[in-house]
Homo-oligomer: A and B are copies of this chain.
Amino acid sequence: MSTTSPKGFSAAGVAAGLKSSGDPDVAVVLNTGPDDAAAAVFTTNRFPAAPVQWSRQVLAGQRARAVVLNSGGANACTGPEGFQDTHATAEHAAGELGIGAIDVAVASTGLIGLRLPMAKLVAGVTAAVEKLSEDGGADAARAIMTTDSVPKTTVQQRDGWTVGGMAKGAGMLAPSLATMLVVLTTDAAADPDVLQRALEAATAVSFERVDSDGCLSTNDTVIVLANGASGVTPSGEELTEALTAAATDLAMQLLADAEGSTKDIAITVRNAATVEDALTAGRACARNNLLKTALFGNDPNWGRVLAAIGTTDAAFEADRVDVTINGVTVCRGGSIGDPREGVDLTGREITIDVDLRAGGEQATIWTNDLSIAYVHENSAYSS
């Protein structure tokens, strides 16, 4: 049910012909109230796509009634004309819904540097609005897929209120240019500032700790809509907890479906001086192509773990670092530990624990391996 699981939301997904495959490619999520609090986080890429530029303006007011999403084209790096296309999309949806354009956020995903076929898109928005339904969450989730192999949805039930959500993305935050789009909905009542803080806290420990290929999209968008239809006003802590659960659930689904991946890798850096140090060291591993190819090859190559964290400024002494891969401490004190032959990497799940012995903080970064299929998919994506 995803975005339509909380009370007071309807959604739809339709095929508008943006995708040459004929698969669904336009989705609308509508908040039917009573409240219209909204919060969002967007890509930090300095080439934000037109829909990101537009939606930032919408969200500046901390309110939104609807989100229009399309796959089949990112509308990124398309200049003033591309921005006008997004604006026209919002205007058209607003007209169909009887609300203001400034209440309509837009999100797009697909190839960069191509204009959208506006006649098809506008007709698709009309069709989606006509089809809006309280059972439409699954259709909407399907319509935002690009190279995703499965739709991603979540439902988190709390005491009298619910968080729902959908996501697309076959790379990650720092994601594939195939982009991550997420819409979360809740029938909780929430002050917009509380909602924004809760969303930022939730994304900081979920989407922002997944680093599949180190690439940052021009289109990444996470939006949450809160309508108070449940009559419940959770505390900021309760809201943060539920949004974090929803975001983490979706993030793990993104990881499991990452383009061409054969491994889900959790890199935990323990006993770091600071959380930032732990994240820096974890990300250095997650972005090290030699480590990622080794893991694709079922090779517990701990030297590549050390070489990766050896490029960072995280606090540690080289002769005190331990590395444990799938439970075997293959490196002790920066040198040879237990035999690497004891490490079984044949499954999809891999855990790498790095003990820096430099403090009391820790953090986990999730990533994937670098596979032949990843290269194949990403070299053939637009050609």
**Residues on A facing B (Cβ under 8 Å):** 44-48, 74, 76-79, 81-82, 111-115, 171, 174, 176-177, 213-218, 287-290, 293-294, 296-299, 301-304, 306-312, 316, 318-319, 330-331, 333-336, 340, 370-372, 374-376, 378-383
Residues of the B chain whose Cβ atoms lie less than 8 Å from the Cβ of A289: 213-215, 289, 370, 374, 378
- Residue in B74, B298, B319, B383 whose beta carbon sits within 8 Å of that of A297 in the complex: B383
- The reply to whether B303 and A76 contact each other, CB–CB distance below 8 Å, is yes
- The reply to whether A112 and B378 contact each other, CB–CB distance below 8 Å, is no
Sorted nearest first, the 7 A-B pairs with minimum C-beta distance are A112-B303, A297-B379, A79-B335, A293-B378, A47-B310, A46-B310, A45-B310
Q: Closest B-chain residue to A378, C-beta based?
A: B293
A177-B290 contact given A319-B79, A336-B79, A336-B115, CB 8 Å threshold: yes
- The reply to whether A378 and B290 contact each other, CB–CB distance below 8 Å, is yes
A299-B215 contact given A307-B45, A307-B47, CB 8 Å threshold: no
Assembled-state Cα–Cα distance A215/B293 (Å): 12
- The reply to whether A216 and B293 contact each other, CB–CB distance below 8 Å, is no
Residues of the B chain whose Cβ atoms lie less than 8 Å from the Cβ of A44: 311
A113-B302 contact given A177-B290, A331-B77, A379-B297, CB 8 Å threshold: yes
- Residue in B176, B294, B308 whose beta carbon sits within 8 Å of that of A378 in the complex: B294
Assembled-state Cα–Cα distance A239/B115 (Å): 54
- The reply to whether B303 and A111 contact each other, CB–CB distance below 8 Å, is yes
- Residue in B82, B213, B301 whose beta carbon sits within 8 Å of that of A290 in the complex: B213
Residues of the B chain whose Cβ atoms lie less than 8 Å from the Cβ of A333: 79
- The reply to whether A335 and B78 contact each other, CB–CB distance below 8 Å, is yes
Assembled-state Cα–Cα distance A177/B113 (Å): 36
Residues of the B chain whose Cβ atoms lie less than 8 Å from the Cβ of A290: 171, 176-177, 213, 215, 378
Residues of the B chain whose Cβ atoms lie less than 8 Å from the Cβ of A383: 297-299
